[in-house]
């Protein structure tokens, strides 16, 4: 068990779910420290039935801390997490900053737990849209090697953090009232809209979010040459990312086999009876820890293709749940843990 756990970014969209999960799952630890920016220093956050004071994150915040669960903007993770490692803490980071560092383990516990157990430095949790896709790809790849992946996402505003959640609510209210609203998070109005850009525009016209789905998936699956093409779109859904995923595998996987493979894999739930209106919906999947799949069907354009719909709570499995599962794995494998 870890003695002292620091939750960095405890006031953010992911951090608040992290606190909820630590509470719900009765994560074993002696003491918790809640850290955020100077803006939140001194504010009280409800945690485990008490009002806990948030402290300002500094380079000295990690004295006596043995586990850090961090969800801050990239530049904050870049600046402060090396101090946590130097202080001897185990660090699990939600930000994008460290994920592709060759010395950093990028972990989804249902896929590559050994990477977390063997890690010497920071352990990174993947981008939210990557985590749900890579978990759904894993049982298919184990059955027949993946040859090509094409994904389109329909991403919730909570994926852009606390400001994204506020922008959707306030922007929608303003639009219905015929008022203008200055969006803080999005470059275009998100109310009643779809924005085909998440992150900055990178090489060959792809965005940073799209390239994260490509390079992080390859790293987690250990398939450096896997062909992946991603299009990421922000839509006016509060929470829960949806994805259309089409795969080509070495031999064809038919929909019945795929349903069985998904259903047998830890962390995946199948909701697939379209004639009865049963398929994963972001409103229904929000608040749950699994990745949900449905609309499983043959790809009519390829003899070895399969297409499906995939939904997950981006703040849970896409972020906080994944980090806590990693922490639970490490906690259970510490030398002081009962065998």
Ligand X SMILES: NC(=O)c1ccc[n+]([C@@H]2O[C@H](COP(=O)([O-])OP(=O)(O)OC[C@H]3O[C@@H](n4cnc5c(N)ncnc54)[C@H](OP(=O)(O)O)[C@@H]3O)[C@@H](O)[C@H]2O)c1
The C-alpha atoms of residue 5 and residue 110 are separated, in whole angstroms, by 23
Smallest gap from Cβ 35 to ligand X, in A, equals 6
Which of 104, 271, 315, 330 contacts ligand X by CB under 6 A? 315
Which of 65, 76, 146, 198 contacts ligand X by CB under 6 A? 76
Pairing label, strands 146-155, 241-249: antiparallel
> Is 159 one of the binding residues for ligand X (CB under 6 A)?
yes
The C-alpha atoms of residue 339 and residue 337 are separated, in whole angstroms, by 6
> Is 171 one of the binding residues for ligand X (CB under 6 A)?
no
> Is 40 one of the binding residues for ligand X (CB under 6 A)?
yes
> Is 155 one of the binding residues for ligand X (CB under 6 A)?
no
Pairing label, strands 2-8, 29-36: parallel
> Is 130 one of the binding residues for ligand X (CB under 6 A)?
no
Neighbours of 111 (CB within 10 A): 24
Smallest gap from Cβ 88 to ligand X, in A, equals 20
Which of 6, 22, 34, 57 contacts ligand X by CB under 6 A? 57
Residues in a beta bridge with 229:
150
Judge whether 241 counts as a catalytic residue. yes
Cα 266–248–136 angle (5° rounding)?
15
The smaller minimum CB distance to ligand X, of residues 191 and 198, is found at 198
The smaller minimum CB distance to ligand X, of residues 95 and 249, is found at 95
Question: 224 exposed, middle or buried (CB, 10 Å; 0-12, 13-18, 19+)?
Answer: exposed
Cβ(241)–Cβ(153) under 8 Å? Answer: yes
The smaller minimum CB distance to ligand X, of residues 144 and 314, is found at 314
Report the candidate in 273, 279, 282 with the shortest Cα–Cα distance to residue 238: 282
Binding segment for ligand X among 71-79, 143-151, 167-175, 299-307 (CB under 6 A)? 71-79
> Is 198 one of the binding residues for ligand X (CB under 6 A)?
no
The C-alpha atoms of residue 318 and residue 306 are separated, in whole angstroms, by 23
The smaller minimum CB distance to ligand X, of residues 127 and 172, is found at 127
Binding segment for ligand X among 24-32, 94-102, 111-119, 137-145 (CB under 6 A)? 94-102
Q: Which H/E stretch holds residue 50?
A: strand 50-53
Which of 2, 7, 9, 21 contacts ligand X by CB under 6 A? 9
> Is 240 one of the binding residues for ligand X (CB under 6 A)?
no
> Is 213 one of the binding residues for ligand X (CB under 6 A)?
no
Smallest gap from Cβ 127 to ligand X, in A, equals 6
Cβ(240)–Cβ(283) under 8 Å? Answer: yes
Smallest gap from Cβ 3 to ligand X, in A, equals 22
Q: Distance of CA 104 to CAs 34, 120, 160, 322, Å?
A: 24, 8, 24, 16
* Set 232, 241, 265, 310: catalytic member: 241
Residues in the chain: 339
Token pair in block for residue 234: 């922000």
Q: Indicate which residues carry an active-site annotation.
A: 128, 241
Give contact residues for ligand X (rule: CB under 6 A): 9-15, 36-37, 39-40, 57, 71-74, 76, 94-96, 128, 158-159, 161-162, 314-315, 318-319
């Amino acid at each position: 068990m870890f003695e002292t756990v620091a939750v960095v970014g405890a006031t953010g969209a992911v951090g608040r779910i992290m606190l909820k999960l630590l509470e719900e799952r009765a994560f074993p630890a002696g003491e918790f420290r809640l850290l955020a920016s100077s803006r939140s220093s001194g504010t009280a956050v409800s945690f485990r039935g008490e009002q806990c004071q948030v402290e300002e994150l500094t380079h000295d915040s990690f004295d006596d801390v043995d586990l850090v669960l961090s969800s801050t903007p990239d530049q904050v993770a870049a600046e402060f997490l090396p101090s946590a490692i130097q202080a001897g803490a185990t660090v699990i980071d939600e930000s994008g900053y460290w994920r592709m560092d060759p010395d950093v383990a990028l972990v989804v516990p249902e896929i590559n737990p050994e990477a977390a157990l063997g890690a010497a430095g920071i352990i990174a949790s993947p981008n939210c849209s990557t985590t749900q896709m890579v978990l759904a790809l894993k049982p298919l790849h184990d059955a027949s090697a993946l040859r090509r992946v094409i994904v389109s996402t329909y991403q919730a505003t909570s994926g852009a953090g606390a400001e994204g959640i506020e922008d959707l609510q306030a922007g929608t209210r303003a639009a219905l009232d015929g008022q203008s609203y200055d969006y803080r998070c999005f470059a275009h109005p998100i109310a009643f809209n779809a924005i085909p850009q998440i992150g900055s525009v990178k090489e060959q016209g792809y965005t940073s979010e799209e390239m994260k789905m490509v390079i992080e998936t390859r790293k987690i699956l250990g398939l450096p040459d896997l062909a992946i093409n991603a299009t990421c779109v922000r839509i006016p859904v509060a929470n829960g990312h949806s994805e259309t995923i089409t795969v080509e595998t070495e031999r064809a996987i038919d929909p019945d086999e795929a349903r069985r493979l998904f259903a047998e894999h830890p962390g995946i739930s199948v909701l697939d009876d379209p004639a009865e209106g049963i398929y994963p919906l972001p409103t229904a999947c929000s608040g749950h820890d699994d990745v949900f799949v449905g609309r499983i069907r043959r790809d009519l354009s390829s003899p070895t293709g399969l297409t499906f719909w995939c939904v997950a709570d981006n703040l849970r499995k896409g972020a906080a749940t994944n980090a806590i599962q990693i922490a639970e794995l490490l906690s259970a494998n510490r030398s002081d843990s009962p065998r």
